[in-house]
Structure 1
């Protein structure tokens, strides 16, 4: 059979089985984006994975590889495992996982029952500066994003069954209509986007969508994140330092104002009477206005004494050249002649 006949036969198989995605079907198509995990169903008639073999045909070659034989992981890959019903689990898929997977069971070394064919289609996005779905780039630079479907026979899907790739923004608007973006599709399974990013594009999400007519099969979101340059780092450090200095200055002003308020308040001189444990208080600045009279560097002040008993030891603090204090007691007794 010629190569063209093989392609036509495979195309008929794909077309007839494209939407039979239920468990136990002979042909299943699974569409996912890279980085996701997936479970591929097996036609488990025997209900024992020790009789199950999973075979993988890569999308770029016609060679086959057994990934599980008799229920045993042949590659010792931590990303592959079998479930209780012999389905194949693939964790954190990459574009290299796209292809045809076949589940086959054996009894006493003989092929038993129909095979289960699962076509895994993996959608992957890469950029001109990074292969990950998220990268750090600078504003005012040009970037090219490439979105590709990795499949066993991707071209047939796009040529004969109406599949297409579309770039959209985070509000689901087709970027084909936006003059800022140049969209190209040099291959059926590949679509690229080129644009010059501006400051407003930081944290912008760009989506590559795989559509079948009006049905979205899968999509990949690419998030733009800008790199902080060294000059921006210095600027941030200077701003942070200025904010710190401003905070310290504000705290100092508040402290000084509070200190002034305490100094302009009622300073107190206390005297303790050790005999009866009473305390006498002298308010230097009474509640009534203080009368000051100054003549030739001589200051006269009036001080009010509030006390349960007369102070025996009066403490007077002076400021200036000469200070005279007149103490008026609350309960004073005439002194003996």
Structure 2
């Protein structure tokens, strides 16, 4: 590293860790959100984007130039997730724990224009991601606040609440909160539950105001999931069977309403056609009672042969039904 580059890094370190009054901004995001870092503060003038630069500094590292002359540097490892708005703000998409750190905006190389933004990122996940999901034992959730060392993290900065909003303290029914260490807190809960349970990790300030929070939904054990699915499938099958029986009964009732005419015992079973005809005077007066007669008409078709195709082989019989 040449002397000029080393001098620049030393200057940046001294400048930003002594703090600029009125130009320090604090931004809290949870993993997966988008962050918008402003290039202005209450004591700064509107910037000119064509001369704006954005720098990023993380504990134990060195300042990295992310934006030069208002344009994202393509060689940046995060170039695909970075962009600059019309007011020169820096946008970071899909924030991760690695994005936590100090960002500062500078105009035209003038350090007096610097605006510092301290980005902290809150994450929540199982402390042992590779644990066997088929086991019914307890699971421990880990909540961490990633930040720079200059951002304090006092005791009880991180707290846990359940799905009802009640704060979880110490040890209770089905849970145990471990003492907070630095900016990390652990919650151990039981997985033996018949439904999903949601737990929320919150980062609060000195006045206990929530600055950022992250949720984690704990699924029931797989064996209980199968029981639930089996119950739902069983209920659907029962409903389908009941519906089928109802349809069958209705069709059976319709069939019974139209009985087949009684066949004469001396007549052959096949090739018989029966028709019942009601004879009534359609022109009779509506006030006069009309006598109705029912007549059964029967046609018998003889077996057709090559030698006899005479249509007179049809035998008709008309009977008056008394």
TM bucket normalised to smaller: 0.5 to 0.7
Q: CA–CA distance in 2 between the matches of 1:238 and 1:207?
A: 30
Q: Distance in 2 between matches of 1:96 and 1:196?
A: 31
Query: Is the CA contact (8 Å cut-off) linking 2:191 and 2:218 kept in structure 1?
Result: no
What are the Cα deviations for residues 12-33 of structure 1, in whole angstroms up to 9, with x where unaligned?
74xx96xxxxxxx411111121
Q: Judging by fraction of residues, say which structure has more strand.
A: 1
Q: Which residue of 1 aligns with 2:253?
A: 261
- After superposition, the Cα gap between the structure-2 partners of 1:175 and 1:304, relative to the gap in structure 1 and judged at 3 Å, is same
Is 1:151 equivalent to 2:153 in the alignment? no
Residues 305, 236 of structure 1: alpha-carbon distance in 2 compared, 3 angstrom cutoff: same
- What does the per-residue CA deviation read over 1:99-126, in whole Å, with 9 as the maximum and x for residues that have no partner? 10010111xxx52642101111111112
Measured at CA, do residues 102 and 169 of structure 1 come closer, stay the same or move farther in structure 2, by a change above 3 Å?
same
Question: What stretches of structure 1 of length at least 5 have no aligned partner?
Answer: 1-5, 18-24, 269-283, 286-302, 318-324, 330-337
Alpha-carbon distance in structure 2 between the residues aligned to 1:130 and 1:166: 21
Given that 1:210 and 1:216 are in contact with CA atoms closer than 8 Å, whether structure 2 keeps it comes out as yes
Aligned ranges 1:268-287 → 2 under 5 Å: none
Give the structure 1 partner of residue 321 of structure 2.
Answer: 328
Is contact 1:139–1:198 with CA below 8 Å preserved after alignment?
Answer: no
**How many residues are matched?**
263
Alignment of 1:137-286 (within 5 A): 137=133, 140-153=136-149, 157-159=152-154, 164-179=157-172, 180-185=174-179, 187-200=181-194, 202-213=195-206, 214-226=208-220, 228-229=222-223, 233=226, 236=229, 240=233, 243-244=236-237, 246=238, 249-251=241-243, 253-267=245-259
Query: Structure 2 vs 1, CA of residues 113 and 238 (structure 1 numbering), >3 Å: closer, same or farther?
Result: closer
What's the CA shift for 1:188? Answer: 1.4
Aligned residues of 2:171 and 2:177 also touching (Cα < 8 A): no
Q: Secondary structure at the match of 1:56?
A: strand
Counting only pairs closer than 5 Å after superposition, residues 102-141 of structure 1 correspond to structure 2 as 102-106=104-108, 110-111=109-110, 113-130=112-129, 137=133, 140-141=136-137
The question of whether the paired residues in 2 share the 8 Å contact of 1:304 and 1:328 is answered with: no
The superposition leaves residues 190-233 of structure 1 with CA deviations (integer Å, 9 ceiling, x where unpaired) of 11111222214x3211111111122111111111123645x965
Residues 177 and 315 of structure 1: is their aligned pair in 2 closer, same or farther, counting only changes over 3 Å? farther
Structure 2 unaligned blocks of 5 or more: 1-12, 263-274, 282-292, 301-317
- When normalised by structure 1's length, the TM-score is 0.64
Distance across 1 between alignment mates of 2:106 and 2:67: 10
The corresponding residue for 1:32 is 29
Other structure's SS at 2:50 match: helix
Q: Please, what TM-score do these two structures have when normalized by structure 2?
A: 0.67
- CA 1:240 to 1:148, structure 2 compared with 1: closer, same or farther past 3 Å? closer
Contact 1:136 1:226 in 2 (8 A): no
Partner residue of 2:80 out of 70, 75, 78:
78
CA RMSD of aligned residues (A): 4.1
**CA distance, structure 2, for counterparts of residue 113 and residue 258 of structure 1:** 88
